[in-house]
Structure 1
Amino acid sequence: MRLHVTYTGGTIGMVESPDGLVPGADLRGWLFQLLRQGSDLDSSKVSLTALDPLIDSSNATPGSWQSIIDDLWRFHDSADAFIVLHGTDTMSYTTSALSYALTDFGKPVVFTGSQHPLGKIESDATANVTGAFNAVLSGHAQGVELFFGHHLFAGNRVTKASSWAFEGFASPITGPVAQSGTPWHWNDAGSEGCGWRNPAPYRQHDIAVVTMVPGISADRLASMLAPHPQAVLIRAYGVGNMPDAVPGLTDAIRAVADGGAPVIVASQCQQAEVMLGRYQAGAGLAEVGACSAVDMTFEAVYTKIMFLLSQGLGAADFTDWVGRPIAGEVSSPQQ
């Protein structure tokens, strides 16, 4: 098997500096030494790209996602499987984003990283990287996935759960695809999607993210939505509720919706299905034409909005696609 590794930066290859951790470790040397010492894989069949510049994943943008996509396609015909080394802070955003853009890629892409740099004795880098290699070598990996802390997750069903624990990621709705061990235990791969042929590249778009909190006022919400964004993602309570007793709050959202910007409602709960209008407190969102994120993670719905805007969809098609699974990111079509 021929493998390609894309290194984007992140904690795994960082070193100490006067300003804190920054990229700078000899990741290439470490990786190939790891392969020589602990793998039957011929290192001559492994290629590596270090993106320029290497970044802390906190600085990732839609352009960063596209750079990874472009690198994967560049090596598509010369490799059988792919590993992406990425920082943990936004890795679940990137895996979600790539899952939509690579539905016709046809080869497994497994992301991983670490909570501690590879040069630290307490580092989890070796365990995570060898786990990612084992996942792609198993023949079971498919689509875009993320390996971390002994678990393999669907890339668009995962969220970062801890900034310090070695099991730093979780998949609260669907659970992991597999757990490493002797032998590995594989679970149901989950639902598939409609796919998306020949997607347009990711572009930066203005998405407003609003979290409903007790005491929010209509004036504050209106100021957060001025000027009007291209889309609004509301992190509501429970199954899609908001304070319906606050005068003018729904009107502030209606003004944006009437201006043509789609309004999408996700839940603040990690385990939830958004059902607009199930409670009276969610009726206002349904009345202004907001659509449900169903049971998508926050990362999955945010990147899906960015993906759909990058495809240049009209309002009706956009709303339709929010609830339709492109790559298994949502359990069922929006009702």
Structure 2
Amino acid sequence: MALNDANLPTLADEKPEEAILESRVLIIMTGGTICMQQSPHGFIPARGFQEKCMARVPSFNDGSLSVPMDVITNSKGDITAHPSLSTPVTRYGRKVRYTVYEFEELLDSSSINAKGWAEIAESIYQNYTLFDGFVILHGTDSLAYTCSALSFMLQNLGKPVVLTGSQAPMLELQNDATDNLLGSLVVAGHFMIPEVCLYFNNKLFRGNRTTKVSASDFAAFDAPNCPPLATTTSMRTNVNWDMVHRPTSLAQFRIQTNLDTTHVACLRIFPGIKPEMVDAVLKLDGLRGLILETFGAGNAPSGQDNAMINVLASAIQRGIVIINITQCLTGSVSPVYATGMSLSRAGVVAGLDMTTEAALTKLAYLLALPDSTPESVAQNMSLSLRGELTESSVPVFRHPDGALPERVQTLTVLGYAIAQGDLEKVKTIMKTEQHWLLNDADYSGNTPIHLAATSPAISILHFLLSQGGSVHLRNRNGRTPLFLAANAGLSDHVLLLRKSGAHLHSDERPAAELLARRRPGVWGLAGIDPRENNQRELDEENSGAGRSRTMAGSAP
């Protein structure tokens, strides 16, 4: 057939191929089983991980041109060009381009210490602006400790940092390394989860909630008191966005590397332990903090003479901070038994549901802060800094004899001062009371922060938040302080709560969306977008109409 002008393609007909987005991820190799290979003396760390282990696997290498990626390799800012690889296009419509930066000394994780943690933190800090996310390859033995330490060392983190490793080397025929590494790359390259996380066996955990639960199973890690942040299935990675912890201070990313690990210790209580043993540990030269692993809900033997309590109280008076952590895999320290209450009265801080790994590294972190005091460290140990513990309120009720205990009286007086907008009285009460009062709850489950969320004086809300009150606790109706402030139409209160990290709980959103129809402004500040509601309703209407037409068409 003869061609004419009408048959010729025009520029308008030519559609250039859409550029595929690429995420940039830096993989930092510290050592561990994942990079090991056989030797006459057993498994040893191997160099050239990217070329030996990743380049030959299609899931990690789409065969595209190896574009050099700049990596800052030291504190002087020296830049070295590293060859990169790219994954094929993921089901999320982008590639992950990455390079592996190997530490000069590859370690077995049982040998890592605060110096190694500092090296990891420095590498992330130096390359923070060059990459979208980071994957840290690490041995499993001390992986939970490293995750916990980094979560405190990396301050105002705004990008994903995912740690992983394996139970079997990647060069072995049967291994878990491939899935763990690929899953970590996908998370770091696609999901804005600004936390230090641990990815293992298709689950993404908050790093400072994890502990190693098996020496040989592929499911080696768990976070007993915290559900996974994400789970990988055959279809996709499902992220539990309501759980993601985000930085709330308006500050740049920075690191603290001088953890005081040399002046903290951990001691496990056992039946028959003698007070003299505990006293000997507490009198170690230079000791500043102790993690005490106790029975059940935080109990330890006291004896009729209270010898153990006296030993602990004496150490606390000398300035040693003692944290009470349960030996149980799940659950929380709660002073509900007489022995546990005795520890609390002696000044031992309840570590709630923190893991031993998180408590130890958090204590080392707080002790190293400038101007830290035993009092400030003790106070901050019971507060959630990076989502490492579950903040809980303790409901208080009327005493059976009709009289209110002193603690309840104080909470009642504080409540009246908040409702009346009396900031000076609130400050006076808080100055003489323990910090736990901030998260106490009245008969309705309202904490002081709940009450301040609708107080006429926003200065009271600001003050209580600055003292460490939690914005995430819910009252007996399931309402957060943010919900109460928005429902009261207090825009400034809403903005302050949001600045402090508050967000509506998923259970509150349906009610909030209904209320937003009448008052979209303040609810918009609280995180409800009326446009999304309208679109959802339109989709539901269209879906309903479609179903009706289908049913009508199929009728006989």
TM-score class normalised by the smaller sequence: over 0.9
Q: 2:256 aligns with which of 192, 200, 208?
A: 200
Q: Identify the residue that residue 260 of structure 1 maps to in structure 2.
A: 319
Is 1:135 aligned with 2:187? yes
Shift of 1:17: 3.7
Is 1:234 aligned with 2:286? no
Q: In 2, distance between residues paired with 1:194 and 1:107?
A: 10
Secondary structure, in 3 states, of the residue corresponding to 1:232?
Answer: strand
Shift of 1:163: 1.1
Q: Which residues of 2 match residues 21-100 of structure 1 at below 5 A?
A: 21-29=43-51, 30-34=53-57, 35-37=60-62, 39-40=87-88, 45-100=97-152
Q: 2:377 aligns with which of 315, 318, 323?
A: 318
Q: In 1, distance between residues paired with 2:255 and 2:373?
A: 15
Shift of 1:61: 0.8
Is 1:209 aligned with 2:266? yes
CA deviation string 1:281-327 (max 9, x = no partner) = 11331122111111111111111011111214111211111011111
Q: In 2, distance between residues paired with 1:44 and 1:319?
A: 43
User: Match for 2:31: what amino acid?
Assistant: G
User: Match for 2:328: what amino acid?
Assistant: C
Secondary structure, in 3 states, of the residue corresponding to 2:151?
Answer: helix
Shift of 1:18: 4.6
Q: 1:115 aligns with which of 141, 162, 167?
A: 167
**Contact 1:217–1:246 at 8 Å: present in 2 too?**
no
Given the superposition, is the C-alpha separation of residues 257 and 143 from structure 1 closer, same or farther in structure 2, using an over 3 Å criterion?
same
Q: In 2, distance between residues paired with 1:95 and 1:110?
A: 9
Given the superposition, is the C-alpha separation of residues 61 and 85 from structure 1 closer, same or farther in structure 2, using an over 3 Å criterion?
same
**Contact 2:27–2:98 at 8 Å: present in 1 too?**
yes
**Contact 1:96–1:155 at 8 Å: present in 2 too?**
yes
**Contact 2:229–2:244 at 8 Å: present in 1 too?**
no
The number of equivalent residue pairs is 334
**Contact 1:201–1:310 at 8 Å: present in 2 too?**
no
Shift of 1:194: 6.7
Q: In 2, distance between residues paired with 1:206 and 1:270?
A: 26
**Contact 2:152–2:365 at 8 Å: present in 1 too?**
yes
Secondary structure, in 3 states, of the residue corresponding to 1:105?
Answer: coil
Given the superposition, is the C-alpha separation of residues 85 and 265 from structure 1 closer, same or farther in structure 2, using an over 3 Å criterion?
same
User: Match for 2:310: what amino acid?
Assistant: D
- Unmatched tracts of structure 2, length 5 or more: 1-22, 63-85, 393-435, 440-556
Secondary structure, in 3 states, of the residue corresponding to 2:135?
Answer: strand
Q: Identify the residue that residue 353 of structure 2 maps to in structure 1.
A: 295
**Contact 1:10–1:57 at 8 Å: present in 2 too?**
yes
Secondary structure, in 3 states, of the residue corresponding to 2:129?
Answer: helix
Q: 2:197 aligns with which of 145, 150, 155?
A: 145
**Contact 1:124–1:166 at 8 Å: present in 2 too?**
yes
Q: Which has the higher helix share?
A: 2
Q: In 1, distance between residues paired with 2:267 and 2:223?
A: 23
Secondary structure, in 3 states, of the residue corresponding to 2:173?
Answer: coil
Shift of 1:139: 1.9
Q: In 1, distance between residues paired with 2:184 and 2:242?
A: 17
Is 1:168 aligned with 2:220? yes
Shift of 1:25: 4.8
Given the superposition, is the C-alpha separation of residues 302 and 44 from structure 1 closer, same or farther in structure 2, using an over 3 Å criterion?
closer
Secondary structure, in 3 states, of the residue corresponding to 2:298?
Answer: coil
Give the structure, 1 or 2, with the largest relative contact order (CA under 8 Å, sep 6 or more): 1
Shift of 1:4: 0.6
- 100-109 vs 297-306, which moves further: 100-109
Q: In 1, distance between residues paired with 2:24 and 2:153?
A: 22
Q: In 1, distance between residues paired with 2:128 and 2:99?
A: 12
- 86-95 vs 10-19, which moves further: 10-19
- 2-11 vs 225-234, which moves further: 225-234
Shift of 1:246: 6.7
Q: Identify the residue that residue 37 of structure 2 maps to in structure 1.
A: 15
User: Over aligned residue pairs, what C-alpha RMSD do you find?
Assistant: 2.3
Q: In 2, distance between residues paired with 1:176 and 1:216?
A: 36
Secondary structure, in 3 states, of the residue corresponding to 1:36?
Answer: coil
Secondary structure, in 3 states, of the residue corresponding to 1:205?
Answer: helix
Q: Identify the residue that residue 327 of structure 1 maps to in structure 2.
A: 386
Secondary structure, in 3 states, of the residue corresponding to 1:308?
Answer: helix
Given the superposition, is the C-alpha separation of residues 211 and 172 from structure 1 closer, same or farther in structure 2, using an over 3 Å criterion?
same
Shift of 1:220: 2.0
Q: In 2, distance between residues paired with 1:44 and 1:206?
A: 42
Secondary structure, in 3 states, of the residue corresponding to 1:243?
Answer: coil
User: Match for 1:208: what amino acid?
Assistant: A
Is 1:223 aligned with 2:248? no
- 135-144 vs 155-164, which moves further: 135-144
**Contact 2:156–2:247 at 8 Å: present in 1 too?**
no
**Contact 1:157–1:300 at 8 Å: present in 2 too?**
yes
Q: In 2, distance between residues paired with 1:189 and 1:153?
A: 14
Which protein has the larger Cα radius of gyration, Structure 1 or Structure 2?
2
TM-score computed with the length of structure 1 as normaliser: 0.92
- Unmatched tracts of structure 1, length 5 or more: none
User: Kindly, what percent of the aligned residue pairs are identical?
Assistant: 28
CA deviation string 1:46-68 (max 9, x = no partner) = 23221121111111111111110
**Contact 2:297–2:332 at 8 Å: present in 1 too?**
yes
CA deviation string 1:132-181 (max 9, x = no partner) = 11112332533111110111111111111111111111111112111111
Q: In 2, distance between residues paired with 1:217 and 1:314?
A: 29
Q: In 2, distance between residues paired with 1:194 and 1:12?
A: 31
